[in-house]
Amino acid sequence: MRRALLAALATVLVCALALAAVRWGLEAAMPDYPAALSAEAAEEKITGMWLTEQAAERDNSLLIFGSSELKTTDICTHPANFFADTGLQVDLIGRGSCQSIIHAMAIGAQGEALRGRQIVLITAPQSYVPEGIASDLFMANYSQQQLLDILGDETIPDDIKTYLSARTQDLFDAYEADTGLTPEAYTAGDLLSTAWAEDGAAALLAPYGAAAEWLLDTRDLAEAKDLAEDFPDEAPAALNLAFDWDAELEAALDQAAEMVTNNDFYMQDSYYATYIGAKLDQQAGKDAALSYETSPEYDDLRCLLDLCSLWDLEVLFVHVPMHGAWNDFTGFDAGRRAAYYQAVREIAEDYDNVTLLDLTGYEYEPYFLCDTMHLGWKGWLAVDRAIVEFYHAA
């Protein structure tokens, strides 16, 4: 019995040493964060930690947290294009369906790596549906690594930990109910989350959480290393944020006129042809009963901004308009849109560290959006101009 126990302990020790050697080797071999990666809205940025931490440490770096609008890089005024040769490294973090709960975990987990920095945060109207983020979309962007880091951080208040844990468990349960599948994220490490969500008895499972977090951090390093090595590391240009805004607007409108030719909603041709064209008549009045009056997204947004405040972040908060003409056509009337706008506005105004870029007055402006919901030529240019003013104000 004693020999068997000693053999088991020896095996555990060997495995631990082997894992430690792997971790040490990864840490020693990690490349510098390549500037070219900043324009890539990679999954590893939103679900991991190393890449975002490294991006934040670069000189003249500004992190932009958003969702599917970050993919519209064919628009000339998209920040990844607009600031490409200016020396300001705008780093895209997010992808489709990255709503407030996802960004709360990403920002909350970074901790001191982000403290006192400037970030841009974009909120999308379609996030505020009555059910909030869909369970499958949450699972696609959820990071157990980030949640465990938050739960193990003694500087984060318990009420935030409890909120994030409870939301996670609710979404796990919804995913299982929706799909009949048990989320892969139900692992030993998530027992810590369950403890916070149910009774706060997290201390009992802290060793489990620490071990799981260490393994997830190691995996994050490996995935980040593979991605970073695919991009060249080029020296950034000298910082120059002087623009002829009239000329930039003229260039944006020239591109818009070329890309919008087949519809009266000022939507990009390819989007309209794919998603609207032949189905236009079916869209009339379809949103007559839709309302953004209540949604879990509002509390998720508060949690996100609480974490931004905790880390002393200066936030440029972009309040994106809905497409007025399109929403009139689909039956989402101006009164309900105004109520949604005001609800988000009131939340943002509760935070002294938040600069609100309220674009909701442009919902009928041609070329402000490029489809039914995403910022377009004029919309991104308004964000670009606000970024310059925001960055210079630091």
Structure confidence by residue, pLDDT tens digits, 47-56 = 999 999 999 9
pLDDT bracket for residue 17 (50, 70, 90):
low
Report, as an integer, the average pLDDT of 87-93: 94
Name the pLDDT band for 183 (thresholds 50, 70, 90).
confident
Cα-flanking dihedrals φ and ψ of residue 58, to 5°?
Answer: -70, 150
- Which DSSP symbol is given to 121? E
Tens digits of per-residue pLDDT, 244-257?
999 999 999 999 99
Q: Which residues of 187-208 are buried (b: 16+ CB within 10 A; e: fewer)?
A: eebbebbbbbbeeeebeebeeb
Confidence tier at 392 by pLDDT (50, 70, 90): confident
Secondary structure class of 251 (helix, strand, coil)? helix
Per the listing, tokens 């019995």 go with 1
Reported as a pLDDT band with limits 50, 70 and 90, residue 20 is: low
**Cβ pair 27, 19 in contact under 8 A:** no
Q: What kind and span of H or E run contains 224?
A: helix 206-228
| Three-state SS at 65 | strand
Q: Which residues contact 170 (CB under 8 A, 6 or more apart)?
A: none
pLDDT (mean) for 338-356 = 97
